[in-house]
């Protein structure tokens, strides 16, 4: 009886060791499947942190205020706004001084009747309508500069937002990798300890070591990606690349609804790309109208005063004289100058209109692609929240392990 009980106890202990071995091997095999829902949970519904976080809106405001490239473009726009006042002003008058009709043998004011000193002024007057058209062109150019500022502001906001979420993704990926490293460290220590006492196969120890090495390499890669993302965000904001940044905030957990019609309407009315293209069309159109006035002559009006000396025998007795001059500019080279300029600006106007059509096509196509991407991502988030996040319960992991493994393999 005692021998039978001893053999039964040994067999029971052997079965328990076999069950432990099988469960240990299953733990190693199922690590990716067990960690997968954890990764998804952390990515989709990351818990808030009590420490100070990096606010996206504050970064956007800082970038719009301090980015050096934006400062440069704004200064250029300010300079462009100073041009219209110059364009609508009359040309500066010309002051004239002359000493006329002096005798070579005996120079002097009293040696000849026509000898004198002349003071004069000459004022060009552009053809009526030229100055207002030039002012319109300058104002259109200032508008183009403003649209360039608006476009750059939108691009900087996009860069900051993109860099911010890339940094957030890098930080979350790093945290998840660190958690996975902790898990694999524990499992590796368990396998090595069991292998040391002869309760695990050498293959299990090698597999655990390989998995440990891969995760360590992934950890280094994630750390480098996080550092690069921080530098990219600092650069987008206009900071020094090595400035320290607090952790980023978690995104909204619920997906946003997308209205295709409303977005398309907003893009076609408020897109900075399209506003810039339309302002260039207006600039070239005003340029064509201004160029048509180049064929009209400008008026020149001048006045002069002659100081004379008294000359014997001169009936005027050296009386000073006053003169008025009128003149016109003659566009005799209109075929090679003014008309050629008109044709040039007409071609540029056609180019600007073609650019506007191209921008409309590009932004509508790009909008459709972005909306499709957002809808696909919203569907994936809904899938995670509806089917994968409830799997965090350990009881459900035990009951539906095969279901989780199959689901994660499909999503991966």
Predicted confidence at residue 256, as pLDDT, reads 65
**Total structural domains in the chain?**
3
In a domain, 14, yes or no: no
Q: What does the mean pLDDT of the chain come to?
A: 80
CATH number, domain with residue 80: 1.20.1600.10
Which of 330, 351, 378 corresponds to the end of one domain? 330
Give the least confident one: 67-81, 221-235, 319-333. Answer: 319-333
Please, how many CA atoms are within 13 Å of residue 122, restricted to the half-sphere of its CB? 12
**Do 55 and 201 sit in the same domain of this protein?**
yes
Q: Give me the mean pLDDT over the 49-75 stretch.
A: 87
**Do 277 and 342 sit in the same domain of this protein?**
yes
In a domain, 409, yes or no: no
HEC string of 131-184 equals HHHHHHHHHHHHHHHHHHHHHHHHHHHHHHHHHHHHHHHHHHHHHHHHHHHHHH
In a domain, 342, yes or no: yes
In a domain, 6, yes or no: no
Give the confidence band of 363 by pLDDT, cuts at 50, 70, 90. Answer: very high
In a domain, 178, yes or no: yes
**Do 338 and 376 sit in the same domain of this protein?**
yes
**Do 179 and 148 sit in the same domain of this protein?**
yes
248: pLDDT strictly greater than 80:
yes
Place of tokens 């655990």: 208
**Do 193 and 228 sit in the same domain of this protein?**
yes
In a domain, 410, yes or no: no
The token pair that represents 207 in the structure block: 């597999």
Domain that holds residue 106: 92-125+297-330
In a domain, 32, yes or no: no
In a domain, 29, yes or no: no
**Do 315 and 338 sit in the same domain of this protein?**
no
**Do 384 and 279 sit in the same domain of this protein?**
yes
Give the confidence band of 148 by pLDDT, cuts at 50, 70, 90. Answer: very high
Predicted confidence at residue 407, as pLDDT, reads 34
**Do 158 and 303 sit in the same domain of this protein?**
no
Predicted confidence at residue 350, as pLDDT, reads 97
Which range of 131-135, 239-243, 388-392 scores highest in mean pLDDT? It is 131-135
**Do 263 and 382 sit in the same domain of this protein?**
yes
Which of 231, 253, 275 corresponds to the end of one domain? 253
Q: Give me the mean pLDDT over the 141-158 stretch.
A: 95
**Do 54 and 101 sit in the same domain of this protein?**
no
Q: Give me the mean pLDDT over the 366-392 stretch.
A: 78
In sign, the C-alpha dihedral spanning 353, 356, 358, 361 is negative
**Do 157 and 119 sit in the same domain of this protein?**
no
Predicted confidence at residue 11, as pLDDT, reads 47
Give the confidence band of 232 by pLDDT, cuts at 50, 70, 90. Answer: very high
How far is Cα of residue 102 from the mean position of the Cα atoms in its chain? 71
In the chain, what percentage of residues exceed pLDDT 70? 80
4: pLDDT strictly greater than 70:
no
Q: Name the residue with higher pLDDT: 105 or 361.
A: 361
331: pLDDT strictly greater than 60:
yes
**Residues near 99 by Cβ (< 8 Å), separated by ≥ 6?**
116, 117, 118
Q: Give me the mean pLDDT over the 297-324 stretch.
A: 86
Give the confidence band of 72 by pLDDT, cuts at 50, 70, 90. Answer: very high
Give the least confident one: 87-96, 149-158, 380-389. Answer: 380-389
**Do 361 and 275 sit in the same domain of this protein?**
yes
């Amino acid at each position: 009886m005692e021998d039978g009980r001893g053999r039964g106890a040994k067999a029971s202990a052997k079965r328990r060791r076999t069950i432990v071995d099988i469960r240990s091997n299953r733990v190693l095999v199922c690590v990716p499947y067990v960690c997968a829902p954890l990764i998804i949970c952390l990515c989709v519904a990351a818990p808030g942190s009590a420490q100070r976080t990096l606010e996206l809106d504050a970064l956007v405001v800082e970038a719009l205020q301090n980015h050096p490239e934006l400062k440069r473009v704004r200064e250029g726009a300010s300079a462009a706004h100073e041009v219209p006042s110059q364009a609508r002003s009359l040309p500066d008058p010309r002051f004239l001084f002359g000493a006329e009709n002096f005798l070579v043998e005996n120079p002097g004011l009293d040696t000849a009747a026509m000898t004198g000193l002349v003071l004069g002024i000459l004022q060009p007057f552009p053809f009526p309508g030229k100055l207002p058209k030039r002012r319109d062109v300058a104002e259109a150019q200032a508008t183009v500069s403003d649209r360039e500022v608006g476009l750059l502001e939108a691009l900087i906001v996009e860069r900051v937002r993109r860099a911010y979420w890339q940094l957030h993704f890098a930080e979350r990926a790093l945290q998840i990798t660190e958690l996975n490293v902790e898990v694999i460290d524990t499992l590796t220590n368990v396998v090595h300890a069991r292998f040391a006492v002869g309760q695990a196969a050498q293959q299990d120890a090698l597999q655990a070591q390989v998995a440990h090495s891969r995760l360590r390499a992934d950890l280094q890669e994630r750390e480098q990606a996080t550092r690069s993302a921080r530098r990219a965000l600092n650069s987008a904001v206009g900071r020094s690349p090595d400035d320290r940044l607090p952790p980023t905030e978690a995104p909204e957990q619920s997906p946003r609804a997308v209205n295709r019609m409303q977005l398309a309407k907003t893009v076609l009315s408020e897109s900075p790309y399209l506003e810039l293209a339309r302002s260039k069309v207006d600039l070239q159109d005003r340029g064509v109208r201004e160029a048509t006035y180049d064929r009209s002559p400008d008026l020149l009006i001048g006045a002069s005063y002659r100081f004379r000396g008294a000359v014997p025998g001169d009936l005027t007795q050296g009386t000073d004289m006053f003169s008025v001059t009128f003149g016109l500019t003659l566009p005799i080279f209109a075929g090679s100058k003014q008309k050629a300029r008109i044709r040039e600006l007409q071609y540029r106007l056609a180019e600007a209109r073609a650019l506007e059509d191209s921008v409309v096509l590009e932004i509508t196509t790009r909008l459709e692609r972005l909306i499709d991407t957002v809808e696909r991502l919203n569907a994936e988030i809904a899938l995670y929240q509806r089917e994968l996040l409830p799997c965090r319960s350990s009881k459900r992991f035990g009951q539906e392990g095969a279901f989780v493994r199959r689901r994660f393999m499909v999503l991966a």
